[in-house]
Amino acid sequence: MSHDNGKLELYAVCGFGLGLYWFYKGFRTYREYRVVEDTPEIPIRSIPMGLVRVHGRATGQNSLISPLTRKPCFYYRVEIQEWKSDGQRGHSWHHYRTDTDSVFFYLEDGTGRVRVDPSLAEFDLPKSGEREVRGSGGPGFTPLAPSAPTGEPSDQELLAYIGRAGSIPFAGFFQKMLSKAQSSDDPRKEQMRQLLAEALKHPVNSPLFAEQILKLGDLSQSLQGASQEHEAERAFVRQHFDLVAQRLAKGSQLASGRFRLVEYCLQAGQEYDITGTCIENPHPQDEHDRNLITKGQNEPTFLICGGKQQQVDASLRKRAAWQIFGGAGLAVACLGFLLVRFGLF
């Protein structure tokens, strides 16, 4: 068996597994489509507790600045791809990193407004921007997202942003571990745990991350004059600062290579269709802010889409059909190739 034949068989096995995955995911998408289609759209003023579907305009006082287009938004996702060699087959785009961030926002429709927690939602959003950049690496830390939009970032700023993207998986893993940790009876330890978990919900280059780290620093300073019993807390804070400093130092290098960035964001002032579970808002701002839409425990469907109801339904139906039939076709083709290759058919 030649080296190339071995590669073909490996690709066939991977393709078979990928086909099965897409086939299974297609049925999940189809179930989601049925749930969304069967849930009638209602005015925000009339939403009950439980699964709801609403349509309105995204608003809110706290917003993010999207990294690629610098638009005010409440959620963004940047898919970073790297142009890499495939050996003798030439070059192609390969996934490098995915950077996401979100904040709470409100959805308004003229009858009222409801708060939305987008952190656990699935998104079907139009592409807001795309760029290609090239870099040779080296030091050059450049702040990417200012407090207000000032036009699109330069290539150097984007290369610095890609260089810092390596800290995102680390931060996400650490944040999940902190969120799963049990609450401490010591109020200082619990306060530190909550500050760390909140900070690591955001990229290390974001203003919201810096804000939480500053609060953590203030807490650390307040412990300097504390008794010996708080030495463990001080050590914990110092250790975390060392970890963050290492990741920031690593991310201060400009990325080297050719990259493509594709951005999707939930923009302030735009209209969206949301299907999710309405619960009581644990932190209401006033008497008109008592509901919150999030991912439910019994019904996991939580979808935020750009466009009208008919467009959303058609998009989900098309995606489900593509995943089911495309996944099945890929799995059957790869399985047939393997059976023929090994003389079993």
Reported as a single tens digit per residue, the pLDDT across 52-77 is 999 999 999 889 999 999 999 999 99
Give helix 309-341 / helix 3-38 axis angle, nearest 10°.
Answer: 150
Which two three-digit tokens encode residue 305?
């889409």
Average pLDDT over residues 165-190: 55
Question: In the structure, what pLDDT confidence band is assigned to residue 288 with cuts at 50, 70 and 90?
Answer: confident
pTM across the whole model:
0.66
Instruction: State pLDDT tens for residues 134-176.
Output: 887 554 444 444 444 457 888 888 888 887 775 555 555 455 5
Please indicate whether residue 208 or residue 315 has the higher confidence score (pLDDT): 315
pLDDT at 188 over 80: no
Are 107 and 113 spatial neighbours (Cβ–Cβ below 8 Å)? Answer: yes
**Which phi and psi (to 5°) does residue 323 adopt?**
-70, -45
Note the pLDDT of residue 105. 95
Note the pLDDT of residue 140. 45
Q: Which of 73, 123, 56, 115 is nearest to 308 (CA)?
A: 56
Question: In the structure, what pLDDT confidence band is assigned to residue 200 with cuts at 50, 70 and 90?
Answer: low
pLDDT at 251 over 50: no
Which pairs from 211-220 meet CB under 8 Å and 24+ separation?
A: 213/244, 216/192, 216/240, 217/241, 219/188, 219/191, 219/192, 219/195
Please indicate whether residue 184 or residue 153 has the higher confidence score (pLDDT): 153
Which two three-digit tokens encode residue 82?
């790297």
Note the pLDDT of residue 7. 76
Mean pLDDT of the chain: 77
The distance from CA 75 to its chain's CA centroid, rounded to whole angstroms, is 8
Residues 6+ apart with CB under 8 A from 87: none
